[in-house]
Amino acid sequence: MARPLAERMRPLTLDDYAGQKHLVGEGAILRKMIDSGTLSSFILWGPPGVGKTTLASIIAYKLECPFYSLSAVNSGVKDVRELIETAKNNRLFQQKPPILFIDEIHRFSKSQQDSLLAAVEKGIVTLIGATTENPSFEVVTPLLSRCQVYVLKPLEEQDLQELLDRALSKDPELKKRRILVEESGQLFRLAGGDARKLFNIIELLTQYQPEDPVIINDENVLASVQANPLAYDKDGEMHYDIVSAFIKSIRGSDPDAAVYWLARMVEGGEDPKFIARRMLISASEDIGLANPNALLLANACFDAIHKIGWPESRIILSETAIYLASSPKSNSAYLAIEKASSMVRQTGNVSVPLHLRNAPTQLMRDLDYGKDYKYAHDYRDNFVEQDYLPPEIKGKSIWEPQQNAAENRLKEFLKRLWKNRFQ
């Protein structure tokens, strides 16, 4: 079975490398570094499919350095330490330090990143990291201070055209087919500056049209992409559709569906922090007071994935998604803040009742700030009936408990205190 087109078309030299002229063009900073044969550790920051991995491989090939590669998605601290030990032992027989390439370095936890520090500082390895996230937020400061950061840009249309022409003229598999390019607008638009996505769409087109000629035009591009059920674009419409299905599955109390859509996001390379943030929102908006522990677990999940990294973080996300989907549901807190916000917009900045105002100075006390306020803890059951809403909206109901065990308990407690307010 032939390798994917994106792999077959991966360039081996800078002459075949598309885009990033500001880094590797004549006289550019990385080109000078490569030509001089002296390489320092650096991090490549840019969107997916712009050549971060390819550039690291070309540099190692050009400098004739040993090249070690790790993916932060499926590597742990043990893998890092073992690889560094291997590089240290082999260094005895090598003049130049080996290159250690770490893809998606932003997914490494702090402990994983810390395990790199000594090797980078002592020159045991030259680190090249690749990230789609801002390194200043995702890479620990000690490691970041030892690396330069180079920003890669999305490929421009002329770069994509160059890649398309090269694929059609040089790829042995595509050369077996008769391919006619009638239009390339949708092809380049859906590629979105991503070489890998461009090649994937070209392959989809050849599968979508099994008979020659293969026609590349806007209609066929859209049809082939829509026919691919595994498509997942972290920045496109499919991204939002799958996230929506995930949240609606949690809201609908279907743990099987929730984990399925979670897996779609995980396999599609979604940022785990994005998933965790969405579950934090769902824990408050959809589960809320029916199970307040859901928010605690979602928050613990968000904290844990910052410490653990891939691939173990996917287990934490799965545990949280199943718990949220299996929890009783209530959106009473969401409805309450929506109702209160609407009330604020309608009534404007009504005054705080005098008895509820703070009175830190004698002047304020002379103006009756805080006068007649009843301190709840001075009364039986730590409660005393008094008005807390402004007179303009006195008696208005805002939070309305829903029918679930937890809120029923809250409602009964409030009914005992307030008598007729909570029916």
Which long-range contacts does 398-403 make (Cβ < 8 Å, 24+ apart)?
A: 398/336, 398/339, 398/340, 398/343, 399/332, 399/333, 399/336, 400/332, 400/335, 400/336, 401/289, 401/332, 402/289, 402/290, 402/330, 402/331, 402/332
- In this structure, the answer to whether residues 317 and 377 fall within a common structural domain is no
**Domain-embedded: residue 10:** no
Q: What is the pLDDT of residue 144?
A: 85
- In this structure, the answer to whether residues 106 and 137 fall within a common structural domain is yes
Task: Report which DSSP code applies to 95.
Answer: S
- In this structure, the answer to whether residues 41 and 112 fall within a common structural domain is yes
Q: What is the DSSP string of 55-82?
A: HHHHHHHHHT--EEEEETTT--HHHHHH
**Domain-embedded: residue 8:** no
- In this structure, the answer to whether residues 220 and 241 fall within a common structural domain is no
- In this structure, the answer to whether residues 256 and 362 fall within a common structural domain is no
Instruction: Please say which residue of 296, 326, 356 terminates a domain.
Output: 326
Q: Is the C-alpha dihedral spanning 166, 171, 174, 177 positive or negative?
A: positive
Instruction: Identify the CA nearest to 136 among candidates 267, 11, 43.
Output: 43
Q: Phi, psi at residue 50, to the nearest 5°? A: -105, 5
Tell me the CATH number at 212: 1.10.8
Spatial separation of the C-alpha atoms in residues 204 and 207, rounded to whole Å: 5
Q: What is the pLDDT of residue 113?
A: 81
Q: What is the pLDDT of residue 278?
A: 92
3-state DSSP call for residue 129? strand
**Domain-embedded: residue 135:** yes
**Domain-embedded: residue 55:** yes
**Domain-embedded: residue 93:** yes
Spatial separation of the C-alpha atoms in residues 11 and 155, rounded to whole Å: 15
Strand 67-71 vs strand 214-216: parallel, antiparallel, or unpaired? unpaired
- In this structure, the answer to whether residues 315 and 218 fall within a common structural domain is no
- In this structure, the answer to whether residues 92 and 197 fall within a common structural domain is no
- In this structure, the answer to whether residues 299 and 350 fall within a common structural domain is no
- In this structure, the answer to whether residues 167 and 139 fall within a common structural domain is no
- In this structure, the answer to whether residues 124 and 32 fall within a common structural domain is yes
Instruction: Identify the CA nearest to 289 among candidates 150, 126, 410.
Output: 410
How many CB atoms are located within 10 Å of the residue 41 CB? 21
Q: What is the DSSP string of 179-242?
A: EEES--HHHHHHHTT-HHHHHHHHHHHHHH--SSPEEESHHHHHHHHHT-TT---TTSHHHHHH
As beta bridge partners, residue 126 has 99
Total domains present in the chain: 4
**Domain-embedded: residue 331:** no
**Domain-embedded: residue 53:** yes
Say if CB 65 and CB 98 are below 8 A apart.
Answer: yes
Instruction: Please say which residue of 292, 326, 360 terminates a domain.
Output: 326
Q: What is the pLDDT of residue 229?
A: 47
Instruction: Please say which residue of 176, 207, 226 terminates a domain.
Output: 226
- In this structure, the answer to whether residues 312 and 399 fall within a common structural domain is no
Q: What is the pTM of this model?
A: 0.53
- In this structure, the answer to whether residues 71 and 168 fall within a common structural domain is no
In order along the chain (423 residues), what is the average pLDDT of each group of 10 residues?
79 81 83 82 84 85 81 72 77 69 81 80 84 81 85 87 88 87 84 84 84 85 66 53 88 92 83 89 93 95 85 91 94 90 84 87 86 90 88 85 87 84 71
What is the extent of the structural domain holding 61? Answer: 20-151
One-letter amino acid at 151 equals V
**Domain-embedded: residue 4:** no
pLDDT per residue as tens digits for the range 85-140: 887 776 655 567 788 888 888 877 777 788 788 888 887 888 888 888 888 877 88
